[in-house]
Amino acid sequence: MNIAALFIRRPVATALIMLGMLFFGAASYVNLPVNQLPNVDFPTIQVRADLSGADPETMAASVATPLEKEFFTIAGIDSISSVNATGRTRITIQFALDRNIDAAALDVQAAIGLAQRRLPTNMTNDPSFRKVNPADFPILYLRVSSPTLPLYELNEYADTLVGQRLSMVSGVAQVVIYGQKKYAVRVRVDPDALASRGLGIDEVADAVSSANSKLPTGSLEGERRASAIKASGQLEDAEAFRDVVAAYRNGAPVRLSDIGEVVDSVEQDKQLSWADDGKPCIMLAVERQPGANTVQVVDDIKTLLPGLTRQLPPSVKLEIFYDRSESIRESVAEVKFTLVLTVFLVVLVIFLFLRNLPATIIPSLALPMSVISTFAVMLAMGFSLDNLSLMALTLAVGFVVDDAIVMLENIVRHQEMGKDPLTAAYDGSGEIGFTILSMTVSLAAVFIPVLFMGGIVGRLFYEFAVVIITAILFSGVVSLTLTPMLCAYFLRHSGSKHRVGYEGIYGKLERAFEWLADKYARSLDVVLRHRRTTLIFSLLLLLATGWLGVIVPKGFLPSEDMGFVVATTEAEQGISFEGMVKAQHKLDEVLRNNPHVDRFNSVVGIVGSSQSMSNGTLMIHLKPHGERPDIQTVVQRLRRELNTSPAMQVFLRVPPAINIGGRSTKALYQYTLTGTNMQELFECAQKVEAALRQVPEIQDVNSDLQLKNPEIRVTIDRNRASALGISAGQIELALQTAYGSREVSTIYAPTNDYTVFVEVRKDFQRNPDALTRLYVRSSSGELVPLSTVARMSPGVGPIAVNHDGQFPAVTISYNLRPGVALSEGVAAVERVSLPLLPDSVSAKSQGTAQAFQDSLKGMGWLLLLAIVVIYLVLGILYESFIHPLTILSGLPSAGFGALFTLWIFGQPLDLYGFVGVIMLLGIVKKNAIMMLDFALEAQRHDPSHTPLDAITEGCHVRFRPIMMTTMAALMGALPIAIGMGAGAEARRPLGLAVVGGLCFSQLVTLYITPVYYAYMEDFSRWLTRRFGQRFEANRAARAEHEKEEGSHAG
């Protein structure tokens, strides 16, 4: 049946169908969101609980463990980890990718309720949770600063005005504030003044709490008028609190100002953010909602900023610190340029082969028709214009034109036999239609296994596979409808095989091609006379491909240059807040003097992933790509310049395009040790960390195990305390109030609420001897010095206690050295660490390293599945068990060419490169299909043709379309392989794999396929002789039936 005949007979209907496809595709394009990568949501919930002043062990045992036990009863959990530092617990629950986050949130809320009865009763903040997507990096950083306003006033504008307004923008998930300085009142008492007046610090806290009240006071209801009662129990600032009476002694009031100082302060007094000029500022990080259009959200925020700026005082400056959409725009624009360049190169290839403008235009129309029509499907599927979808379209440009080229070339061949254009279109399309159908369906089938991949890799490449399958199917439709119709009505009648007018460069090109075809024909005769040698060569090629598959380094997702670097600083354990600020300020000058740094921001204190005062963060915004080297070169230089002092270590990392895992570490790749015996775990972790520091493949080795944090251990003499009527709870409450910044009251303002803290004066917080001057009231009413009922001694302890799956855990993180693939780094870590692990300690990679290992296990199976799918589809199309193997015979050469090219250029076989190998399976088999179809058709029409004669003629006749389609596919991948512009380094492995595989397989398959065809035909005839005539009878019947169908169609 000639599918194209209907469309040749109805040119107007065909043209209108194509115009409709173009219209809906173009209309869809303008509505597609723009992002860096396809939307990938990790259903993750973070739980927060605070107990002011509690040490890490207490937080782990009394807060984290009860909550984790309840969380583990929830279905669909992938992992649970917790970080327990002084006064705070953060639990991260990551669910399976197919788990609904809203349903999971309800389960988490119920589990918190069940665990509540086992938690401490004096929790500072009851457990709360929020839904997060750890895969996403903030899309925008804003900086708010003022040279004159106090930080708490600046924070009010940043949080209440700017932050809340930004949170209302469509597509914004949340706004995270760094360097927050929310207003608070701090009552700082003098223990000596308390003792001289016979006051305990707990009594001061109770007095402050009672003095500040905001209770409903009702109303008066008269006969004609109702009046609200408003009491002045609410105190609003430090000035008002200074006159609060804590007690009466000798008939005189003891006010707060008599026993200490009351100051306007901030809640986060041990947190500071400053800009590159060294002046304090507030940083706001804007995170987008899953699926939101990054570029559109940023544009909406930028539109809002001028209005927000007008609402701020003149002294307040609001500026953009980092705009992630800039790198996305650059990367997407670069891919679009690559797409346009690819279209130009492919059309140029067609023209150079055909040297006829109408003949060039006709197959070239398959490009916009296939690509633009695909946009409509992308919009319907909820996809975006991102690096992967646009890369799929760019690669598709190289082979969506193949079907149209094959159709055109066959119709032109019939014209050269002397037929008029209409007859040539009918005959040529009918002859080649099945070939095009086979090529289209089998090429699309290559990507079917990708649709069913699981995990993060499957989520990422699902969009890629759908886009490229859609473009391939559209190209098949266009080639069977529009192309033959245009050939019938617009292609000039050449009338002879010998074209005229080919002088000059055209003549030289034609003669060069004829010379090449002649050389190929001669060399093919030589190969066919040495078929056994060729067969042995192909088997050796298969073994060499397997060997390369083992030795070529493997990678995961390539890093992209977004112009942004995050550095984590680490000073000596136990450093004070003031000391850490001074130490980190010393790094400012290094960054200011670096010619590649545009601006930076520093953050010190417990904020975000930082759990101690000894850690800080540097956010470094680099200059544009054209004004500096690549980002890895810049990072290596910064690593040397920033790590010059032994007192401060700086760990730098380039944020990945997609962050995998909910654990925050100082370096990119994570290796977690867990065990039931904490002492053995800690000892083992230190040995492993020391050993990994000597591994040459990795750098920036560090761990979250910090055991040398200075402590003052208070040992309660329970017998003496009991005799005096003092409970352990009283002692701990007094310590918490004095040194834990106890929250005792709340100020309610019209736009916010503020906390009132009670603590000892700053000078007493710095002196360990001040503990002995703290007093606790006994049951007899007397004040008893703390030193009477407790003994103080210095010691060291952990800064944080971490859990992984309820068990104590230590996470070691590291970065790869330049030129080292992820597979080499992971193998080196396991090689060194595993012999050091005792039986009670287990180890595994986490985050990106774990996702890489999971993907590596599935790569081989996916490749095998793709080959099986191709075989099944070809077997169904050809009604043959044998000849699909003939078509697949060229696949090892494609694999060898791809892997060898990556090896030569020092590129790892990452996920992009692996997709390139999968693509090659579909592209390379097209050559074999074109040769095989002609040979089978020739044998059906003339049974006297031997298999060798038929395949030899097929190679000669189809040499031109094979060269055209291969060159077109090569031009489609060449711009990606060259890799210029933003984000090009990430796409380069894919382009190199395709270009290398195409070049080598093109040379090899032109010779191997004919040899395999001859052998397979001999094998088929042997089967016929061995098992009877039924194979031949069935073949004859099929041939006769197909001939009858062809005559009816004609």
Residues 70 and 94 in one domain: yes
Would residue 780 count as lying in a domain?
Answer: yes
Average pLDDT on 319-324 reads 92
- Co-location of 24 and 79 in the same domain: no
Average of per-residue pLDDT across 310-337: 87
Domain count, the chain: 4
CATH code where residue 21 lies: 1.20.1640.10
498 pLDDT band, cuts 50/70/90, is very low
pLDDT tier, 269 (very low <50, low <70, confident <90, very high otherwise): confident
Angle at 480 between CA 475 and CA 483, to 5 degrees: 85
pLDDT at 1050: 44
pLDDT category, 620, cuts 50, 70, 90?
very high
Residue 605 counted as domain residue: yes
The answer to whether residue 590 is domain-embedded is: yes
Average pLDDT over residues 379-399: 83
Would you call 190 helix, strand, or coil by DSSP? coil
Say whether both 27 and 47 belong to one domain: no
More confident residue, 245 or 711: 245
At residue 1039, does pLDDT exceed 60? no
Lowest mean pLDDT, pick from 165-169, 562-566, 715-719, 1025-1029 = 1025-1029
Confidence of residue 253 (pLDDT cuts 50, 70, 90): very high
Q: Give the per-residue pLDDT at 916.
A: 84
With respect to residue 762, please indicate whether it lies within any of the assigned structural domains.
yes
The runs of H, that is alpha helices, within 491-503 are none
Specify if 73 maps to a domain. yes
Residue 299 pLDDT > 80, yes or no?
yes
* Across 140-144, 167-171, 487-491, least confident range: 487-491
Q: What percent of the chain has pLDDT over 70?
A: 94
> Does pLDDT of 1049 surpass 60?
no
- Does a structural domain hold residue 59? yes
506 phi and psi angles, rounded to 5 deg? -65, -45
- Above 90 in pLDDT, residue 35? no
pLDDT above 70 for 294: yes
Domain final position from 634, 654, 674: 654
Residues 371 and 485 in one domain: yes
* pLDDT reported for residue 158: 92
Same domain, 108 and 208: no
Asked whether residue 17 falls in the same domain as residue 64, the answer is no
pTM (predicted TM-score): 0.80
pLDDT in tens, 715-724: 888 888 888 8
Residue-level pLDDT at 869: 86
Range of the domain at 649: 563-654
What pLDDT is stored for residue 315 in this prediction? Answer: 92
- Give yes or no for a contact between 749 and 236, defined as CB atoms under 8 angstroms apart: yes
Within this chain, do residues 781 and 735 fall inside the same structural domain, yes or no?
yes
pLDDT of 784 strictly over 50? yes
Examine the domain organization and report whether 488 and 364 are in the same domain.
yes
Last-in-domain residue among 737, 771, 797: 797
In this predicted model, which residue has the larger pLDDT, 307 or 1017?
307
C-alpha–C-alpha distance, residues 436 and 470, integer Å: 16
Q: In whole angstroms, give the CA distance from residue 50 to residue 517.
A: 78
What is the tens place of the pLDDT at every residue in 992-1022?
Answer: 998 898 889 888 888 888 888 888 887 777 7
CATH number of domain containing 646: 3.30.70.1430
| Cβ within 8 Å of residue 480, ≥6 positions away | 3, 4, 7, 403, 407, 429, 433, 436, 437
Length of the chain, please? 1050
Computed from CA positions of residues 316, 321, 323, 326, in that sequence, does the dihedral angle turn out positive or negative?
positive
Q: Which of 971, 872, 858 is nearest to 911 (CA)?
A: 858
Average pLDDT, the chain: 85
Reply yes or no on whether the pLDDT at 857 is more than 80. no
Average pLDDT of the segment spanning 148-173:
91
List the structure tokens of 634: 């810049």
488 to each of 145, 412, 423, 428, how far by Cα in Å?
A: 70, 10, 8, 10
pLDDT tens per residue, range 346-377: 888 888 877 778 778 888 888 888 889 999 99
Tens digit of each residue's pLDDT (9 = 90 or more) over 48-83: 998 877 888 889 889 999 999 999 999 988 889 888
Q: How confident is the model at residue 513 (pLDDT cuts 50, 70, 90)?
A: confident
- Do residues 361 and 423 share a domain? yes
359 and 486: one domain? yes
Query: What is the tens place of the pLDDT at every residue in 635-654?
Result: 999 999 999 888 889 999 88
Q: Higher pLDDT residue, 582 or 229?
A: 582
Whether 378 is covered by a domain: the verdict is yes
**Range picked from 104-108, 603-607, 772-776 for highest mean pLDDT:** 104-108
Does the pLDDT at position 497 exceed 50? Answer: no
Strand, coil or helix: 711: strand
Let me know: does 271 contact 605? Beta carbons within 8 Å. Answer: yes
pLDDT of residue 1030: 52
**pLDDT at 226 exceeding the cut of 70:** yes
Per-residue pLDDT reduced to its tens digit, 587-619: 999 999 999 999 999 999 876 555 677 889 999
Say if residue 26 is in the same domain as residue 57: no
Last residue of a domain, one of 631, 654, 677: 654
Bridge partners for 620 per DSSP = 565, 600
Once rounded to an integer, what is the mean pLDDT over residues 978-995? 78
**Residue 637 shares a structural domain with residue 734:** no
> For position 793, which CATH number holds?
3.30.2090.10
Residue 582 covered by a domain? yes
